[in-house]
Amino acid sequence: MARRKRGIRFWMLLLLGLALALYIFYTELRPTVIFGLRDDYARAIPFQKVPTGLKSLKAEDCGACHREIYEEWKTSIHAFAYRDPFFQAYWKKDDNIWICLNCHAPLENQQPTLIQDIPRNRVERAVQVPNYRFDPEFQAEGVTCAVCHVRDGAIWGPFDDSVAPHPTKFDPSFRTTQICYRCHNVVSGPFQFYNVGPCGTYAEYEGKFFMQERGMICQSCHMPQVLRPVADGGPIRLGRRHLWRGGHDPEMIKRAIAVQVTADPLEPKPGGRVTFRLTLVNAGAGHKIPTGDPDRHFTIEFLVKDEHGKIVHHQAETMGRWILWQPVIVEVYDNRLLPLASREYDFTYTIPKDAERWIVEARIRYHILTDGQHEMLRERYGLTADDPYRFVIYQRAFPLDQTLAVALQRQPALQFGCAVSVEAGRTKGLSGTS
């Protein structure tokens, strides 16, 4: 009996010890957010005063003179950085933790609290006080003009000879990738084992071909060059569109990839076997694809359809990052494509003997998040049901008969590099595909 009591006591103490260890681990060691802190984004951008000659820091007031730039900004994901429904749902899931605002509404003017201290770099334990200068309307502008361009009572920009009704200052970082670094290079924290951090597009940037040989920087694709007056009535300059098309724009994703499909044999017959090979190339992005949020991924699919369009066979593979979130964050593996890298996907199918007018459809879809995550955010965290989160970025049908060779020949030639060029202002609108 005594031995039994000692055994029970041992297991109770062991369970109590494990429970205590887990409590200490989750409350004292493991961060509650999925990224770490770095000095330049651990705090909001300091409070900025309105430069002399301006009414306010609001984008609309900047747009009084910089009309075309303002109209472009209004269509951009930067303008929706705070209001974006995906951000709002994920932020609610994370208990509206303050650190997210340092990229989604980065100016101290836009934030309801001021951070006094961050003990042991534990974000959830930050000492906060109310910000009496907080402007909720300004917060809703997200990454607004002043986030990049207003510092120390002046408008900072890429030109060293500006003449304006307000103070200006030349900042060479606007002509480099450094201007993107603060928010597009979020790092890992303790007990987080990502390869490049959770949102590390900047760290993924490949400089050999795109930068060294073609002279391209982030802005080359995401802010295409344009000849136009920077301000109404000003001289024509070589500036940039303020569009920042990227991971939320299916047209931008389409421009980043190149796809080629081959088949063997070229003239398949009923009852025979045919093998398709889809080659997917990261032909236009200077970073891995997909990039940014670790939930983003591609699915590469082959669908066999009969003469009525009914799917009779389906094969799918996934490209992305696979991450274990508990008890520590570990990136299990990453099969995304580096710049100019390619991957082949094979599909073999035996054609039924009675098949007529059957096709194989090759399809690539881009997902901002998984179906399960979308359902969870919609049901529990207020994401609206009709927000698109997956897009078809490639789709082509190939006949399973002797006309297959002709269909393969009609594919467009592979193109490499971001398809941007200098354009005259007011000629192509704001489609983001210029």
In this structure, are 127 and 261 located in the same domain? no
Return phi, psi of residue 343, to 5°: -145, 145
Q: Is residue 139 part of a domain?
A: yes
DSSP lists the bridge partners of residue 330 as 193, 324
H/E/C letters for each residue in 233-249? CCCEEEEECCCCCCCCC
Q: How many domains does the chain divide into?
A: 2
One-letter amino acid of 421: S
In this structure, are 400 and 262 located in the same domain? yes
Q: Is residue 225 part of a domain?
A: no
- Which of 139, 171, 203 corresponds to the end of one domain? 171
137-140, long-range: CB < 8 A, 24+ apart: 137/58, 138/57, 138/58, 138/107, 138/109, 138/110, 139/82, 139/101, 139/105, 139/110, 139/111, 139/112, 140/82, 140/83
Q: Are 294 and 309 in contact (CB under 8 A)?
A: no
Give the CATH number for residue 392.
2.60.40.10
Q: What is the DSSP string of 26-48?
A: IIIIS-SSSS---TTTSSPBPP-
Q: Is residue 274 part of a domain?
A: yes
Q: Is residue 189 part of a domain?
A: no
pTM given for the model: 0.89
In this structure, are 259 and 363 located in the same domain? yes
Q: Which two tokens stand for residue 232?
A: 């109404």
C-alpha distances (whole Å) from 323 to each of 291, 296, 330 are 14, 12, 6
DSSP 289: B
- Which of 171, 203, 218 corresponds to the end of one domain? 171
Q: Which two tokens stand for residue 401?
A: 């008969």
* Start-end of H helices in 133-249: 136-139, 145-149, 178-181, 201-204, 218-222
In this structure, are 268 and 362 located in the same domain? yes
Q: Is residue 137 part of a domain?
A: yes
Q: Is residue 370 part of a domain?
A: yes
In this structure, are 268 and 401 located in the same domain? yes
pLDDT (tens, 9 = 90+) of the chain, 434 residues, equals 666 777 777 788 888 888 887 777 777 777 778 888 888 899 999 999 999 999 999 999 999 999 999 999 999 999 999 999 999 999 999 999 999 999 999 999 999 999 999 998 888 889 999 999 999 999 999 999 999 999 999 999 999 998 899 999 999 999 999 999 999 998 888 888 888 888 888 888 766 677 767 778 899 999 999 999 999 999 999 999 999 999 999 999 999 999 999 999 999 999 999 999 999 999 989 899 999 889 999 999 999 999 999 999 999 999 999 988 888 889 999 999 999 999 999 999 999 999 999 999 999 999 999 999 999 999 999 998 788 899 999 999 999 999 999 999 998 887 776 755 567 664 333 333 22
One-letter amino acid of 212: Q
User: What 3-state DSSP class applies to 427?
Assistant: coil
In this structure, are 291 and 403 located in the same domain? yes
The pLDDT score that the predictor gives to residue 1 is: 66
Q: Which two tokens stand for residue 153?
A: 């009572």
Place of tokens 């096709």: 359
Cβ-Cβ contacts under 8 Å for 209 (sequence gap 6 or more): 286, 339, 340
Range of the domain at 78: 59-171
One-letter amino acid of 152: D
CA distance 246 to 257: 13
Q: Is residue 164 part of a domain?
A: yes
- Which of 153, 171, 189 corresponds to the end of one domain? 171
Q: Is residue 318 part of a domain?
A: yes
CA distance 428 to 430: 7
CA distance 42 to 103: 10
In this structure, are 142 and 265 located in the same domain? no
